[in-house]
């Protein structure tokens, strides 16, 4: 559920047939990896067959199997053999083996297996006139262990189909808007993925038509053999559940086990409407200004675009009109640009193209000055753990996790990339309470864990903002004695300093409690981990006492085993990262909380000295144990140099430089900050590293019209875009001859609306149109947290950019994380400073 992974798409084994021989039934994008681009395509409809593979962390990210993209809207996914009617995010999936594309016959096949059951099978999709035949094949019968369990599932997104009509064997019905349908208790009485009960079918029959009256989204499924098709609603078990159509595989049969005929609405000659992307806040008069028009690949960009200015009476006046300049193709779209950099008059403007007028924006020399306020004023207070957080009439959450934390058991691989090694590396026994951890820290993301790596990354970026912009804004009252945060209530202290204090309290608490940095603190089981609601009610806030019965409690202790676990295996990368965070915090806290600043600095000095004089502990698991060792090491040396000005840390930076250089983008900001504290030969090394980075990043951004590097991982790339924009800010300040400030603006524009797919700002409540449905801990309400930054546009292979505004549960697209929030605070201030 967080930015903890790299998308593990399995390399397809595909036909080597020449591209010129591809039939019209297949879509093909010309590129250097063209052999991986095949899928079925017709006007208004694409059918993908394992173009993407399930995510390596959570198994089911709803981006694999047989998928339907209907009129440029992905409406169905996960067409595959599953072991329950509505499987949850962590339940078993088959293992992908190979994929074959038979171009001549219009067939795509994928081979998979459930190795634990020795069951191999093939999913086959074949174009049949205007329909598609979906079938499952196996040389062996369904094994006894899967009999009655294994079935072919295809999932349909409720945000599109909820409330639409339904026909089952000709009988009418309606698909529920909200979770409905009957449930039955599990026969084994066990909880799986947090659920005690299984859904019963909404309907069953030989033919199911979803949304028969909707020419955009009608989908017809017909069983071509004796198997029935059943329809389920997965939302009773989990708010992120989908509608599932399913046929249970017959027992004792080999060869073709089942077959459906799929007919999906596809409008002839359909074209996707154009999207005008621009900065939803607007533009400084002196900066570059370019709108990007994203069009259907078949569209002809011969229409004029107009820039309108609204005069003092509110009347719209055209101030510029021209035919957009063609850029070329990227992914599945055609692009053109409209440059209006010559327009500098202050005012309110709007862009108009092909009869569509977009939301208005400003041209003003103060347009960016307040962009970061929602992130500081709302998002970060809401994310504060171990606090009661209040906003006017609303309590965002009660006092949370005051029972932290229990020592995690040894040799235990947990969910969410936490793992405890062979020992505790502490004086505590497994499941023994570790006192002192119930202070400070932010919820890492849309869930409720404290991930140490996120904590120190956020502290460092906030400290960087304090160092460069000395932000005095005070709109939040924080009282650690009463564990109470009150939003929009000044208390006489700068909010950035207070937030840095909150993160630093957690880092120092770890050293006070166990003597070293820990991976983090996370819910003990999936039932708690999937909790949505008030963080203050996630646990009973009473320390677990093994000598008490489960329903016994006192004001401070209980026998309820609901306390979060602390994962404590030592990691030198995590130690260096924490030292860097504490050293940076010391600068920010100086003059505000001098005692805490000194404690943080001394702890950082001690940790760094220990790691430099001992063999490193290279324990790693996922990304809860620190970033690359060399990167964390140079960050610690650089932050200590910046804070202490002690030349010995300059030597440490030089010692770490060569090993860290492959990760230059991760410490380039710091590398520039310490330039004046380093020996004279350092500038030459830094300048060369900057030139190499710029050259590589220029190549990486050349494939798209947005002027940024758009990543292709399972977690979308707004964090990379923001990081690179921040790097460019520092490199421009150090070497303006190497890079212009336009590259800083490109990253800022991307976050605020100029990206593929749609033109919403990726920062909730910032800009005229922004993300209003996101993956915060309030996601079940289809709502948002102002100032939160989402990962953004996820590029699904081979060519589909997606960021859903109707479905918050796509964590790879929509989940807020605290480091991205800190990045935005810095970047917004940096952009404002560049012009003002």
Assess whether 117 and 155 both reside in one domain: yes
What pLDDT was estimated at residue 129?
A: 87
Neighbours of 94 (CB within 10 A): 23
Higher-pLDDT residue of 502 and 192 is 502
- What pLDDT digit, counting tens, does each position of 238-256 carry? 999 999 999 999 999 999 9
Instruction: Say how far apart CA 370 and CA 381 lie, in whole Å.
Output: 17
What pLDDT was estimated at residue 21?
A: 26
- Across residues 65-78, what is the average pLDDT? 98
Which of 85-99, 721-735, 806-820 has the least mean pLDDT? 85-99
Dihedral of the CA atoms 495, 496, 501, 504 (nearest 10)?
A: 150
Question: Is residue 343 classed as helix, strand or coil in its secondary structure?
Answer: coil
Radius of gyration, alpha carbons of the chain: 28
Q: What is the DSSP letter of 694?
A: H
Report if residue 510 sits inside a domain: yes
Report if residue 394 sits inside a domain: no
pLDDT tier, 195 (very low <50, low <70, confident <90, very high otherwise) = low
pLDDT tier, 340 (very low <50, low <70, confident <90, very high otherwise) = very high
Report if residue 386 sits inside a domain: no
What pLDDT was estimated at residue 186?
A: 78
pLDDT tier, 22 (very low <50, low <70, confident <90, very high otherwise) = very low
Instruction: Say how far apart CA 348 and CA 340 lie, in whole Å.
Output: 14
Q: Which two structure tokens, joined as six digits, stand for 210? A: 């979803």
- What pLDDT digit, counting tens, does each position of 742-752 carry? 999 999 999 99
Cis peptide before 813 (omega within 30 of 0): no
Report if residue 485 sits inside a domain: no
pLDDT tier, 1 (very low <50, low <70, confident <90, very high otherwise) = very low
Assess whether 554 and 428 both reside in one domain: yes
Assess whether 140 and 163 both reside in one domain: yes
- What pLDDT digit, counting tens, does each position of 387-432 carry? 999 999 999 999 999 999 999 999 999 999 999 999 999 999 999 9
Beta strand pairing call for 406-407 and 565-567: parallel
Assess whether 115 and 125 both reside in one domain: yes
Report if residue 471 sits inside a domain: yes
- Across residues 68-93, what is the average pLDDT? 95
Any idea what the Cα angle at residue 224 is, between residues 221 and 225, rounded to 5°? 130
CATH of the domain at 314: 2.60.40.10
What pLDDT was estimated at residue 56?
A: 61
- Across residues 172-180, what is the average pLDDT? 95
Assess whether 210 and 90 both reside in one domain: yes
Structural domains in the chain (count)? 5
Question: Is residue 670 classed as helix, strand or coil in its secondary structure?
Answer: helix
What pLDDT was estimated at residue 191?
A: 58
- Across residues 268-294, what is the average pLDDT? 97
* Residues paired with residue 433 on neighbouring β-strands, in sequence order: 406
Which positions ≥6 away from 332 have C-beta within 8 Å?
Answer: 27, 29, 297, 799, 800
Q: Quick check: 35 pLDDT over 50?
A: no
Assess whether 622 and 727 both reside in one domain: no
**Ramachandran sector of residue 537 (left: φ over 0; alpha: ψ -120 to 50; beta: rest):** alpha
What pLDDT was estimated at residue 194?
A: 53
Helices (H) and strands (E) in the chain, counts: 16, 44
Which of 306, 334, 363 marks a domain boundary? Answer: 363
Neighbours of 159 (CB within 10 A): 18
Instruction: Say how far apart CA 9 and CA 792 lie, in whole Å.
Output: 19
In terms of Cβ atoms closer than 10 Å to its own Cβ (0-12, 13-18, 19+), residue 193 is: middle
Assess whether 242 and 302 both reside in one domain: no
Assess whether 669 and 725 both reside in one domain: no
Which of 638, 656, 679 marks a domain boundary? Answer: 679
Alpha helix segments (H runs only) across 570-717? 572-589, 594-612, 629-644, 647-660, 668-673, 682-700
What pLDDT was estimated at residue 302?
A: 84
pLDDT tier, 706 (very low <50, low <70, confident <90, very high otherwise) = very high
What pLDDT was estimated at residue 677?
A: 98
Q: Quick check: 31 pLDDT over 60?
A: no
User: How much of the chain, in percent, has pLDDT values that exceed 90?
Assistant: 89
Report if residue 687 sits inside a domain: no
Assess whether 430 and 500 both reside in one domain: yes
Report if residue 113 sits inside a domain: yes
Q: What is the DSSP letter of 45?
A: E
- Across residues 598-620, what is the average pLDDT? 98
Q: Which two structure tokens, joined as six digits, stand for 68? A: 């339907």
Which of 242, 264, 286 marks a domain boundary? Answer: 264
Q: Quick check: 15 pLDDT over 70?
A: no
User: How much of the chain, in percent, has pLDDT values that exceed 70?
Assistant: 94
- Across residues 674-697, what is the average pLDDT? 97
CATH of the domain at 467: 1.50.10.10
**b/e for 165-185, b at 16 or more Cβ within 10 A?**
bbbbeeeeeebbeebebeeee
Assess whether 745 and 780 both reside in one domain: yes
Assess whether 256 and 282 both reside in one domain: no
Sign of the CA dihedral running 539, 446, 192, 715: negative
Q: Where are the beta strands (DSSP E) in 695-793?
A: none
Report if residue 76 sits inside a domain: yes
- Give which of 364, 305, 358, 448 is closest to 761, Cα–Cα: 358
Assess whether 417 and 356 both reside in one domain: no
What pLDDT was estimated at residue 308?
A: 98
What pLDDT was estimated at residue 803?
A: 98
Instruction: Say how far apart CA 284 and CA 831 lie, in whole Å.
Output: 10
pLDDT tier, 33 (very low <50, low <70, confident <90, very high otherwise) = very low
Q: Quick check: 547 pLDDT over 50?
A: yes
Q: Which two structure tokens, joined as six digits, stand for 190? A: 């066990």
What pLDDT was estimated at residue 88?
A: 87
Q: Quick check: 24 pLDDT over 60?
A: no
Mean pLDDT (the chain, rounded): 93
Which range marks the domain in which residue 558 is found? 404-475+494-627
Instruction: Say how far apart CA 111 and CA 137 lie, in whole Å.
Output: 9
């Amino acid at each position: 559920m967080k930015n903890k992974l790299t998308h593990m798409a399995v390399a397809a084994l595909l036909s080597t047939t020449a591209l010129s021989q591809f039939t019209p039934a297949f879509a093909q994008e010309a590129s250097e990896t063209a052999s991986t681009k095949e899928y079925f395509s017709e006007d208004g409809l694409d059918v993908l067959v394992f173009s993407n593979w399930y995510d390596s962390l959570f198994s089911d990210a709803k981006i694999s199997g047989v998928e339907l993209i209907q009129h440029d809207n992905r409406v169905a996914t996960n067409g595959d053999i599953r072991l329950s009617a509505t499987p949850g995010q962590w339940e078993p999936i088959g293992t992908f083996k190979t994929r074959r594309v038979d171009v001549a016959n219009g067939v795509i096949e994928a081979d998979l297996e459930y190795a634990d059951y020795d069951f191999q099978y093939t999913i086959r999709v074949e174009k049949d006139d205007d329909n598609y035949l979906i079938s499952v094949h196996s040389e062996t019968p369904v094994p006894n262990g899967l009999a009655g369990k294994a079935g072919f599932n295809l999932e349909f997104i409720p945000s599109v189909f909820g409330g639409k009509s339904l026909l089952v064997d000709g009988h009418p019905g309606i698909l529920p808007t909200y979770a409905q349908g009957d449930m039955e208790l599990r026969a084994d009485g066990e909880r799986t993925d947090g659920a005690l009960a299984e859904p019963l079918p909404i309907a069953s029959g030989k033919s199911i038509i979803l949304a028969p009256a909707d020419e955009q989204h009608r989908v017809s499924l017909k069983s071509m053999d004796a198997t029935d098709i059943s329809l389920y609603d997965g939302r009773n078990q989990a708010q992120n559940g989908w509608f599932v159509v399913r046929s249970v595989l017959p027992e004792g049969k080999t060869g073709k086990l089942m077959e459906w005929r799929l007919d999906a609405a596809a409008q002839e000659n359909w074209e996707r409407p154009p999207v005008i992307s621009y900065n939803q806040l607007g533009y400084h008069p002196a900066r570059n200004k370019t709108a990007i028009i994203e069009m259907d690949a078949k569209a002809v960009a011969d229409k004029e675009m107009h820039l309108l200015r609204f005069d003092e009476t509110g009347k719209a006046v055209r101030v510029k009109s021209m035919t957009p300049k063609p850029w070329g193709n990227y992914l599945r779209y055609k692009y053109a640009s409209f440059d209006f950099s010559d327009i500098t008059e202050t005012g309110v403007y709007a862009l108009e193209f092909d009869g569509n007028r977009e939301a208005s924006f400003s041209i003003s020399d103060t347009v960016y000055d307040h962009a970061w306020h929602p992130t500081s004023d709302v998002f970060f207070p809401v994310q504060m753990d171990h606090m009661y957080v209040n906003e006017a009439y609303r309590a965002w959450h009660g006092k949370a996790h005051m029972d932290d934390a229990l020592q995690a058991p040894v040799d235990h691989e947990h969910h969410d990339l936490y793992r405890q090694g062979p020992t505790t590396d502490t004086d505590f026994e497994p499941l023994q309470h570790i006192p002192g951890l119930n202070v400070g820290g932010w919820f890492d993301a849309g869930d409720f864990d404290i991930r140490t790596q996120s904590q120190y990354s956020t502290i460092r970026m906030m400290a960087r903002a304090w160092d460069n912009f000395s932000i005095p804004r005070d709109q939040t009252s924080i009282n650690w004695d009463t564990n109470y945060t009150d939003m929009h209530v000044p208390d006489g202290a700068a909010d950035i300093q207070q937030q840095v204090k909150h993160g630093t309290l957690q880092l120092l608490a770890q050293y006070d409690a166990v003597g070293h940095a820990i991976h983090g603190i996370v819910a003990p089981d999936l039932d708690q981990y999937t909790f949505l609601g008030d963080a203050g009610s996630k646990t009973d806030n009473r320390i677990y006492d093994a000598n008490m019965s489960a329903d016994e409690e006192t004001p401070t202790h209980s026998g309820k085993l609901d306390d979060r676990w602390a994962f404590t295996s030592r990691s030198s990368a995590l130690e260096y990262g924490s030292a860097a965070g504490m050293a940076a915090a010391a600068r920010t806290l100086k003059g505000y909380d001098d005692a805490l600043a000194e404690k943080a600095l001394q702890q950082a000095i001690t940790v760094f000295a220990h790691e430099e004089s001992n063999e490193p502990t290279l324990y790693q698991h996922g990304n809860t144990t620190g970033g690359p060792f060399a990167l964390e090491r140079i960050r610690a040396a650089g932050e200590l140099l910046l804070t202490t000005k002690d030349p010995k840390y300059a030597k440490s930076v030089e010692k770490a430089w060569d090993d860290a250089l492959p990760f230059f983008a991760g410490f380039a900001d710091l590398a520039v900050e310490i330039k004046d504290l380093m020996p004279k030969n350092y500038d030459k090394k830094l300048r060369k590293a900057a030139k190499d980075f710029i050259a590589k990043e220029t190549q990486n951004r050349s494939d798209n019209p947005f002027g940024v590097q758009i990543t292709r991982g399972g977690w979308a790339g707004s964090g990379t875009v923001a990081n690179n924009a921040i790097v460019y800010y520092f490199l421009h300040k150090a070497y303006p001859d190497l890079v212009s400030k336009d590259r800083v603006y490109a990253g800022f524009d991307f976050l605020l609306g100029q990206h593929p797919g749609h033109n919403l700002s990726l920062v909730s409540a910032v800009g005229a149109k922004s993300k209003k449905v996101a993956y915060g801990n309030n996601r079940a309400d289809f709502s948002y947290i102002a100032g939160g930054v989402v990962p953004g546009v996820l590029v699904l292979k081979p060519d589909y950019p997606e960021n859903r505004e109707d479905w918050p549960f796509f964590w790879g697209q929509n989940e807020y994380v605290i480091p991205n929030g800190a990045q935005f605070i810095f970047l917004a201030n940096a952009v404002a400073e560049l012009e003002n």
